[in-house]
Amino acid sequence: MKKILIALAVAISAQVSRADGFVCMSQDGRLSVKAYDHRDPNVGTRSGAVLVLSDNTVQYGRRTIARFSSDTGTLISGANSFLAKVDLRYRDSSRTGELIAGTKLGYLSRIRLDLNFTYGDNLADSSLLLGRLSLLKRDRTSIIVPLVCKRYLVGR
C-alpha cells in the first residue's frame, strides 16, 4: 500500500505545472522588470505570458510603467528572451510620458529582455542570473540596461 501511495504522489506532482518567471532589477535599483511564463500546460509553461516594467522610485501603487502580455499580442518569447512591442493603443502600454532608463515610453518601439538562462540548466528557485534590457527607440537607436535577475518558480 505504501508503494502505491508513493507512486500516486509522484504521478500527481509530475502533473503540477511549474510555471516560472524572472524578477529583475537594474544595477541602480530604479527599474524593476518582471517576466512570467504561462501556467497552463496547454498553452505551454515555457512561453511568456506577461512582462511588467516598474519604477521603484515612485510611490507604491503607481510604480507600474507598462505591462505587456501574450494575450494582447504585445509580448512574444523565445528560449531565453521576452520581446515586447510598445503599442500605444493598449492601455497597459500607453503612458507615453513615463520614463524608462531616461527615455519616454512613447519614444520606444520595442523592449527586449534577454536572460543568461536556458531551461535545461535546471536553475533552482531564487537563483541569481544576469539579464539585459534593450530599449529600442522609434528612431532606431537603443539603450542597454544591465540587470540582475532572480528565477521565480510556481508550484514548488
The cell for 63 is: 510604480
Rounded CA separation 131/21 (Å): 13
pTM: 0.79
Domain spans in the chain, listed from the N-terminal domain onward: 2-153
Q: How many other CB atoms are found less than 10 A from the CB of residue 42?
A: 7
Mean pLDDT of the chain: 80
**What's the pLDDT score for residue 46?**
60
The model's pLDDT over 19-68, given as tens digits with 9 standing for 90+, comes to: 588 899 999 999 999 998 766 656 555 666 789 999 998 888 788 899 99
Rounded CA separation 117/151 (Å): 10
**What's the pLDDT score for residue 16?**
41
Rg (CA), the chain: 18
Rounded CA separation 52/109 (Å): 16
Return the residue matching grid coordinates 510598445. 86
Average pLDDT on 69-83 reads 86
